[in-house]
Amino acid sequence: MKFTAATSLVLLAAAGSAKYDIPASSSANCCFNGALVEGGKQSGLILSTQFWTTNGKDTENNGPKDSTAIHGLWPDYCDGTYPQFCSNVSGIPEYTGEQIGAVMQKYDPALFAYYQKYFKDLDGDTTDFLAHEYNKHGTCFTTMRPKCQPTLPWISQEDFAVLNYFRQFAHKFQERPTYNYLAAAGILPSATQNYTLAEIQSTLKQAHGATPYVGCNKKGEISEFWFFWHTRGTVNFGQYAPVESTTKSSCPASLRYLPKP
């Protein structure tokens, strides 16, 4: 795609901002996560999210005992709200779980194997969960539109977007080994010991560079972590900068960090 020098200067000057003065119809929205419709909000935040699951129907569904599990890579607006299931307005086609799995197995079998280990819902399903995450969140990034992808002889533009979304999805998870961060600070899963939310947040802020969201269930048990980022460029290939969570923790001041069974 071709962009004018003026457009390039605007993008460079405002990189990382969620307030570009660029119409939703502009091809410049291939360069950053812009508004899906005219007058709409721009996705100034990206969240890489993780589960800490202890209640899967089968213990294997919880993922490895010494690691969190992958949850998602989501677009959020800077006010804390978010778009979802955007295919009808973004023009990004939805995929079934089987189709996503087939793309991974064809072009990156090791990636598919990685998801089989670290990405499962409570029922142990990987492919349906892939479809849910992609169709709910992946279709809401303007930079994921097929027309924004390179034209290559060996892969369609649609499959290229899907493949690299899930590569980035896994990469951001690997970049934030939450279990290891906490363990290094002496915070280990325990059936008897309570921890404070403040010490969890402080430890993760030191590692991430900003305070993430720490989520708990109604029993005050840790269930998830969300790391917030601003991006310079596309969701799949942009530069990510840590930022503070826009969502208040759902955990009490004293919480449980239970071991996986």
User: Which tens digits make up the pLDDT trace of 136-148?
Assistant: 999 999 999 999 9
pLDDT at 14 over 70: no
The burial class, CB within 10 Å (0-12 / 13-18 / 19+), for 258 is: middle
d(CA 256, CA 80): 26
d(CA 196, CA 252): 8
d(CA 68, CA 178): 7
pLDDT of 11:
39
Predicted confidence band of residue 59 (pLDDT cuts 50, 70, 90): confident
d(CA 151, CA 157): 6
pLDDT of 20:
63
pLDDT at 57 over 80: no
Of the candidate ranges 113-122, 130-139, 157-166, the one whose mean pLDDT is the lowest: 113-122
CB 81 within 8 A of CB 108: no
* Structure-model confidence comparison of residues 11 and 25, the more confident one: 25
What is the signed CA dihedral for 157, 162, 165, 170, rounded to 10 degrees?
A: -140
Residue range 105-122: mean pLDDT, rounded: 92
Q: Which sequence positions are flagged as catalytic?
A: 71, 133, 137
CB 87 within 8 A of CB 162: no
Predicted confidence band of residue 190 (pLDDT cuts 50, 70, 90): very high
pLDDT of 19:
60
* Number of other CB atoms surrounding residue 205 within 10 Å: 15
SS3 annotation, 80-149:
CCCCCCCHHHHCCCCCCHHHHHHHHHHHCHHHHHHHHHHCCCCCCCCHHHHHHHHHHCHHHCHHHCHHHC
pLDDT of 4:
40
Share of the chain above pLDDT 90, in %: 75
User: Which tens digits make up the pLDDT trace of 200-244?
Assistant: 999 999 999 999 999 999 999 999 999 999 999 999 999 999 999
pLDDT of 242:
98
pLDDT of 110:
98
* Structure-model confidence comparison of residues 12 and 257, the more confident one: 257
Of the candidate ranges 31-40, 99-108, 114-123, 171-180, the one whose mean pLDDT is the lowest: 114-123
d(CA 147, CA 193): 52
CB 74 within 8 A of CB 66: no
pLDDT at 2 over 70: no
Structural domains of the chain ordered from first start: 19-31+41-256 (3.90.730.10)
Question: Buried (b) or exposed (e) across 172-185, using 16+ Cβ within 10 A?
Answer: bbeebbbbebbeeb
